[in-house]
């Protein structure tokens, strides 16, 4: 195998810097990846796409009462704006946002146990609440991390202008707020939720020697989150597929192989979704997607999640036994870029080396180079190649194009949820428009 852990970790050291979606640093990382591809003799291009980059001008949270006062927060992008004087109301803790939690939510400001999933956000808004407070982190985080909140945007459909202001606080501050039990809390939030930015994918291609029209795509995201160098998440995945590219550059495959480094995965798989949209016609010839999201931890365990026929999971399990490589497999959707390929019907899967509780951590300053191990990293790369190379070079491609029923049901369910959300948003917008006074009818006469 033409792979090298020393080469990979030398590049990984240079890639380990904060690479937030849509920033100059993310573009610098994309340029670094492209340069390494070309150094390996593989042509690579950078493809740009538009993303949401809300700009927060002002965000504050205040608890009323003698023991109250300001609480450190950041605004949630695209959630909405308050009047200049802010919004104020009684605090209601709604735990996970079940319907029973929201029976008395009207006119109140809601506190969640974590962050809001789309269906919870919809329930909160319909409850008549004024706004909400989400929380993030651990009550056991050191004090310096309390102020290092990960920026978060609401994931909304185009055209959805629902105004429901939200702020994010640290989990330890949420616990203090509940113990304080203030009579009222106030939020001020000012933002440009419609601001757009540019992110980038890097795409490298090695044409097939026998069946160039048939394509297998390796993918990994290369962006990170605020405060994080992203060494593990997902610098390691990025270098995993780069080493696989190095191998195929010297050992030309029968079928064409593409290598996709996705930008903006951390804000909703935007890069892989943009790739699938831009390469829609090519997806009909894309036979398989092999995604990698984190490898190389010294303390860790191997996992493969297959959004494809269960024969793939069984084969990986069989190969693991043959090679003495411990790995668990499942057939499911995974919260990474493989899901963007499965959604339009491309068989897909994700390899990952995850960490035990108390081991390596992601999405904070704790994601550092020092938790990684070159030997663990290259062991995963070697196993992936032993799996992927015979598949790519097979006389008959062995992965069925049809997704299994359980995966197709998940895909259909996500599509239906998206469609229903769009319908509800259209109804809300129509209702708001009908309630607005016409230009010929002054507001005071409404």
Distance CA 319, CA 244 (A): 18
294 and 282 share a domain? Answer: yes
What CATH number does the domain containing 99 carry?
3.50.30.30
176 and 82 co-located in one domain:
yes
Nearest to 298 by CA among 383, 364, 359: 359
Residues 272 and 300 reside in one and the same domain: yes
Q: What is the spatial distance between Cα 35 and Cα 112, in angstroms, rounded to a whole number? A: 44
Q: What is the pLDDT of residue 118?
A: 87
Of the three residues 192, 217, 239, the one that is the final residue of a domain is 192
- Same domain, yes or no: 260 and 163: no
Pairing of strands 55-63, 69-71: antiparallel
Task: Report how far residue 39's alpha carbon sits from residue 329's, in angstroms, rounded to the nearest whole number.
Answer: 35
Which residues, 6+ apart, have CB-to-CB distance to 122 below 8 Å? 421, 424
pLDDT at 419: 63
DSSP 8-state symbol, 41: T
pLDDT for position 421: 52
Nearest to 19 by CA among 236, 237, 295, 224: 224
**Burial readout 120-132 (b: 16 or more C-beta within 10 A, e: otherwise):** bbbbbbebebbbb
Domain extent, residue 84, equals: 55-192
Residues 302 and 217 in one domain: yes
Please tell me the distance from the alpha carbon of residue 157 to that of residue 70, in angstroms, as a whole number. Answer: 33
3-state secondary structure of 167: strand
How far is it, in rounded angstroms, from Cα 415 to Cα 396? 32
Give the position of tokens 């640290």: 170
pLDDT for the residue 144: 85
Collapsing DSSP states into helix, strand and coil, what is residue 114?
coil
Contact 315, 399 (CB under 8 A): no
Q: Which residues contact 335 (CB under 8 A, 6 or more apart)?
A: none
As averages over each run of 10 residues, the pLDDT of the chain (446 residues) reads 94 98 98 98 98 96 94 96 98 96 97 92 95 94 88 78 94 96 96 96 98 98 96 98 98 98 96 98 97 98 97 98 98 96 97 96 92 98 98 98 91 73 49 42 32
Identify the pLDDT of residue 446: 28
Examine the domain organization and report whether 118 and 218 are in the same domain.
no
Residue 203 confidence (pLDDT): 98
Q: The domain spanning residue 369 has which CATH number?
A: 3.40.630.10
Task: Give the single-character DSSP code of 153.
Answer: B
Give the pLDDT of residue 155.
76
Residues 287 and 383 in one domain: yes
Question: What is the structure's pLDDT at 413?
Answer: 83
> For position 160, what pLDDT does the model report?
72
């Amino acid at each position: 195998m033409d792979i090298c852990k020393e080469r990979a970790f030398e590049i990984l050291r240079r890639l380990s810097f904060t690479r937030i979606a849509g920033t100059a640093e993310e573009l610098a990382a994309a340029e670094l990846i492209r340069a390494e591809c070309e150094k390996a003799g593989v042509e690579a291009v950078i493809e740009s796409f538009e993303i949401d980059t809300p700009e927060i001008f002002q965000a504050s949270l205040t608890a009323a009462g003698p023991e109250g006062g300001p609480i450190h927060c950041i605004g949630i992008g695209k959630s909405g704006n308050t009047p200049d004087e802010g919004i104020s109301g009684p605090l209601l803790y709604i735990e996970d946002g079940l319907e029973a939690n929201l029976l008395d939510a009207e006119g109140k400001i809601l506190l969640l146990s974590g962050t809001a999933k789309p269906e919870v956000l919809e329930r909160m808004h319909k409850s008549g609440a004024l706004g909400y407070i989400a929380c993030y982190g651990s009550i056991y985080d050191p004090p310096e991390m309390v102020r290092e909140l990960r920026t978060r945007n609401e994931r909304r459909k185009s055209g959805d202008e629902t105004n429901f202001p939200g702020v994010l606080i640290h989990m330890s501050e949420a616990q203090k707020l509940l113990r304080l039990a203030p009579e009222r809390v106030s939020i001020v939030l000012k933002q440009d939720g419609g601001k757009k930015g540019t992110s980038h994918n890097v795409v490298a291609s090695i044409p097939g020697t026998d069946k160039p029209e048939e394509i297998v795509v390796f993918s990994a995201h290369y962006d990170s989150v605020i405060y994080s160098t992203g060494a593990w998440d997902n610098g390691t995945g990025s270098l995993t597929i780069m080493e696989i590219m190095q191998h195929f550059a010297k050992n030309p495959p029968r079928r064409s192989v593409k290598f996709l480094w996705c930008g903006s995965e951390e804000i909703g798989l935007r890069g892989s979704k943009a790739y699938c949209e831009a390469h829609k016609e090519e997806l009909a010839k894309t036979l398989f997607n092999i995604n990698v999201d984190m490898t190389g931890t010294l303390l860790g365990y191997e996992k493969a999640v297959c959004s494809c026929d269960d024969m793939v999971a069984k084969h990986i399990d069989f190969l693991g036994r043959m090679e003495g490589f411990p790995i668990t497999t499942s057939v499911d959707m995974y919260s990474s870029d493989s899901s963007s390929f499965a959604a339009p019907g491309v068989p897909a899967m994700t390899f990952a080396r995850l960490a035990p509780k108390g081991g390596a951590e992601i999405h904070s300053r704790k994601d550092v180079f020092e938790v990684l191990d070159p030997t663990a990293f290259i062991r995963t790369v070697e196993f992936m190649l032993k799996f992927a190379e015979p598949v790519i070079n097979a006389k008959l491609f062995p992965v069925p194009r049809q997704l299994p029923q359980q995966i197709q049901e998940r895909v259909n369910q996500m599509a239906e949820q998206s469609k229903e959300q769009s319908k509800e948003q259209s109804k809300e917008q129509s209702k708001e428009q009908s309630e607005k006074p016409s230009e010929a009818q002054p507001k005071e006469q409404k």
